[in-house]
Structure 1
Amino acid sequence: MNNYFDSMFARKEFLARLIVHSLQTTSGWLELACAAMIMLGTYWLSQKILSVISKYTQQQENIKFPLLHHLFSRLLWPLLMFICTIIAMIIWRDSTGESVLWLQIAAFTARWLLMIRIIMATLHNAIPNNLFNENYERSLSTFLWICFILWLTSLDTFIIHLLKSLALPVGSTSLSLYTVITGSIIVGIAIIIAMWLSRITEQRILKAEKLDVNLRYVLVKIVKSLLVVIAVLIALPMVGINLTILSVFGGALGVGLGLGLQKIASNYVSGFIILADHSVRPGDRLNINNFTGYVTKITARFVVLRSSDGSEALIPNDTFVSNTVINDSYSSKIMSNNLTIKVAYNTNLPQALEILKEAAAKQARVCDDPKPNSFVTGFCDSGINLYVNYWIHDPENGFLSINSAILLEIWNRFKEVGIEFPYPQHEIRILNDAGDPIIYNTIPKPVNNTETRPAYPESLPTALSISPSNYSGQQTHHDQQ
């Protein structure tokens, strides 16, 4: 039985000659038609099954296991094609006694398609969507299909032999180019699996509400680093790379960290420090270099601050260790805010102060402890300045809406009790006594001979008395001149 299935799934040597010979016979065309019907029929059947499942999931409104649903929808067609092709191959051999070619190629294609779609589904779940987009998926799929064609035509044997002949000396040993390529692929697969496991672990750790927020992020970073290191240490011996070779690169890596990568290493270590000492936590309100924002994400290299207008700043982790950072939420998340109101001089000040406190306390976002308070802060030219102070427990939602609500409440309450808001005004009085002279300035001299002198009389009085009786808000005869 094993030999029977091995012969069914063995690669065909001289595939091009076998294809030409198959197309010259009637049985070859019948086998090709059978393979094409299986591919089209299984595709139609898979689409029908998926349409029924999609209607059922829409009625359920959500999917409990999105990964399994994604895998099932992607693997249904190649799985059906593979099963139907195997059945057709067995029937064809038993009924005709001839070897199969097109059905075998269809089985190889279905098996390879299964592998490619499993790899793509794994990458989609292991790598964030912003890093693994459609272009990378299309390029990787094309590369895998090229590898399939090389394997099917037996050209991979020649390429593998050529890569093994190219050796790279490393210390006392040598690494072939084939070992380096296969090692890189296996290490990449191991790292992707480690990232997948770390994302699953991260989701579980971050949902553990009993743990401190910073402790959760520290555990996430430690687990991710350990999984990546373990994946590399497991993958390298699998391809025949001795781990002692890494000592050659260890010295170069140490020199690189000491020279060019010291900033990256500093940011990485600082990320653990700020999480361990609870100086910065997600949701904190920070002020750094005149930029105020809330911590939305803490990565291995930087901290993301998002301001109220939506702009985001990426602050390196070592900034929080070496520089002064204003953390408005370090000991408590509640924040204080104040408003200044100006009222007229004829205002009942105790009543106005009480209205200010009541208007602030009426808002749901304002804290009850400490309570809002109001004060008289000064006597100005046009009115009296009043000051109301209050605390809110959700400063991340902004102050504009709460300020507007308090001011609107104050406006309505002041209108009810008749408290006036003063208009800025200036009172000008013109006082002229009979004995006060008005001195005219010296008439400017012409700059050149062509300049025309003003039409002033040759002799001007040195003083002019304006009595209140002849001043009616208009200029006098001499003033007009």
Structure 2
Amino acid sequence: MLLPGWRQNQLLIIIGLILIAWVLHRVSGRLIQNYVRSREGWKKWQLRLIVQLRRRLGLMWFALMASGVYIAMQNLTWPSRSYFIGLAATLAAVWVCIAFAAQLVRNRFLRRMVTWALWIYATLYFVNVADQVAGFLDGLAIGLGEFRLSLLDLITALVAIGVLFTLARVVSTTTASRIRQNEDISPSMQVLAVKGIQIFLYGFAFFMGVRAVGIDLTGLAVLSGAIGVGLGFGLQKVVSNLVSGVIILIDKSIKPGDVISLGDTFGWIQTLGARYASVVTRDGKEYLIPNEDLITNQVVNWSHTNDFVRLDIYFGTAYGDDPRVVRQLAIDSAKSVDRVLSFKSPVCHIVGFGDSSVDYILRFWIKDPTGGLTNIRGNVYLALWDAFKENDISIPFPQREVLMLEDSKLALKKAAPAALD
């Protein structure tokens, strides 16, 4: 390459193309950036594609220019005088394809590892030294009896598992989206089906990747059994939560979207995981409740078999008010609230005679517990307040009368200053 001739000329042409591609990369990158900023409504995947395209502009410009120069030199001069330019154009095009294909891997570190590994392999393959490098890596091995593991086997296994895991993720994501769109499948069975497909695909990808490089897994059966026994004692709670999660999904006692009460926690199920259930309360807090607690503790599912929920509120009126009028006003007030069901008519009953008031209970039904319970009770109380105020129905409060005895010390003290005057 250092001696004058066509090899040196090709090297100089490649360096010149690299400089031109760098300039075009800067100019075209700014143009694309200004165009994107001038327009609105871009989707997330479109922005990601534009970012990746902007990063690879220099390599793409070089591949296009090198391919054009290679085709021109093939027609104008001897083919051997453009060999290195054609090789550089091929490698640049392959590197661009690998960079875009590697975006299927979500993990950033793993994506970089896969990209660099494929770049190195493609370079060695097109330079025709892949067999020599493979032989060198295969020689770096460790052996234990009949077991032999070389560096080539390890790299091949990692690449195979990475590719299979990527394919498994793509298939599981596509399958999961279709399952979630199927309205004939209940939410709990959707979660169970998605989890089962993911476990099967990822497990199948791992074992196929290991078997693809010739590693025999039968010798690991005894070791894995011993490890499993040890993990069974150490991870009892984890295993219990996993089994409880499967039971919940199978018996459909709790499913995403249900409104539940567990102790002081009241909210709706957002997601059902392998270890815990995510419960979101009305104040925006998200509680992660272990699946075992949902099995062993008493859980109130407000929407298990249906969405109908009966609510009770208590109030009292003065003894001078007609109870029949109070009951009718209470029923009409409950009916006037939007979320109260009209076909399940509210009822009002006297439940006792208190010290200061006649005590009543008002019962009504709603069908949307996910909309909250406290707010609907508050709306009914407000409707009662307005109705009682319009009809002169009083809501009593406790009152106390204090009688002061004539011979008491307090009465004497108050009387003394008056006597002195």
TM-score normalised over the length of structure 1:
0.71
Q: 1:111 aligns with which of 54, 71, 94?
A: 94
Shift of the 159–290 alpha-carbon distance from structure 1 to 2, 3 Å rule, reads: farther
Cα distance, 1:209 vs structure 2: 0.6
Cα distance, 1:228 vs structure 2: 1.7
2:316/2:359 contact within 8 Å kept: yes
Cα distance, 1:149 vs structure 2: 6.6
Q: 2:71 aligns with which of 83, 90, 93?
A: 90
Shift of the 419–26 alpha-carbon distance from structure 1 to 2, 3 Å rule, reads: same
Shift of the 253–277 alpha-carbon distance from structure 1 to 2, 3 Å rule, reads: same
Q: 1:276 aligns with which of 222, 237, 250?
A: 250
Confirm or deny that 1:235 pairs with 2:216.
Answer: no
Cα distance, 1:140 vs structure 2: 4.4
Paired residue secondary structure (1:286): strand
Cα distance, 1:162 vs structure 2: 5.2
Confirm or deny that 1:266 pairs with 2:240.
Answer: yes
Paired residue secondary structure (1:475): helix
Aligned residue identity for 2:98: M
Confirm or deny that 1:203 pairs with 2:177.
Answer: yes
Cα distance in 2 for partners of 1:22, 1:363 equals 93
Within a 5 Å distance, the mapping from 1:31-430 to structure 2 comes to 31-38=14-21, 40-41=23-24, 74=52, 77=57, 81-95=62-76, 97=78, 98-99=81-82, 101=84, 104-105=87-88, 107-120=90-103, 122-124=104-106, 132=107, 136=108, 140-141=111-112, 144-145=115-116, 148=119, 161=136, 164-167=139-142, 169=144, 172-247=146-221, 249-430=223-404
Number of aligned residue pairs: 411
1:367/1:391 contact within 8 Å kept: yes
Cα distance, 1:406 vs structure 2: 1.7
Within a 5 Å distance, the mapping from 1:441-452 to structure 2 comes to none
Cα distance, 1:53 vs structure 2: 9.3
Cα distance in 2 for partners of 1:217, 1:366 equals 33
Cα distance, 1:247 vs structure 2: 2.9
Shift of the 47–254 alpha-carbon distance from structure 1 to 2, 3 Å rule, reads: same
Paired residue secondary structure (1:371): coil
Cα distance, 1:51 vs structure 2: 8.0
Structure 1: give runs of 5+ residues left out of the alignment: 1-17, 125-131, 441-465
Shift of the 22–307 alpha-carbon distance from structure 1 to 2, 3 Å rule, reads: farther
Structure 2 partner of 1:474: 414
Cα distance, 1:302 vs structure 2: 1.6
Shift of the 348–22 alpha-carbon distance from structure 1 to 2, 3 Å rule, reads: farther
Cα distance in 2 for partners of 1:29, 1:48 equals 29
Cα distance in 2 for partners of 1:161, 1:476 equals 116
Shift of the 221–417 alpha-carbon distance from structure 1 to 2, 3 Å rule, reads: same
CA displacement 1:211-245 (0-9 Å, x = unmatched)? 22222222222222221222223322322223434
Aligned residue identity for 2:193: L
Cα distance, 1:412 vs structure 2: 1.9
Shift of the 88–396 alpha-carbon distance from structure 1 to 2, 3 Å rule, reads: same
CA displacement 1:428-479 (0-9 Å, x = unmatched)? 23353xxxx5589xxxxxxxxxxxxxxxxxxxxxxxxx8xxxx8x9332599
Paired residue secondary structure (1:270): helix
CA RMSD of aligned residues (A): 4.1
Aligned residue identity for 1:318: E
Shift of the 204–152 alpha-carbon distance from structure 1 to 2, 3 Å rule, reads: closer
Aligned residue identity for 1:191: F
Cα distance, 1:194 vs structure 2: 1.0
TM-score normalised over the length of structure 2:
0.80
1:292/1:307 contact within 8 Å kept: yes
Cα distance in 2 for partners of 1:67, 1:248 equals 47
Cα distance, 1:22 vs structure 2: 9.5
Paired residue secondary structure (2:303): coil
2:17/2:62 contact within 8 Å kept: no
Cα distance, 1:361 vs structure 2: 1.6
Q: Which has the larger radius of gyration?
A: 1
Moved more, 219-228 or 416-425: 416-425
1:336/1:392 contact within 8 Å kept: yes
Shift of the 49–83 alpha-carbon distance from structure 1 to 2, 3 Å rule, reads: same
Structure 2: give runs of 5+ residues left out of the alignment: none
CA displacement 1:416-439 (0-9 Å, x = unmatched)? 22222334432223353xxxx558
Cα distance, 1:71 vs structure 2: 5.3
Give identity over the alignment, percent.
25
Cα distance in 2 for partners of 1:32, 1:103 equals 14
Q: By percentage of residues, which structure has more helix?
A: 2
Cα distance, 1:349 vs structure 2: 2.1
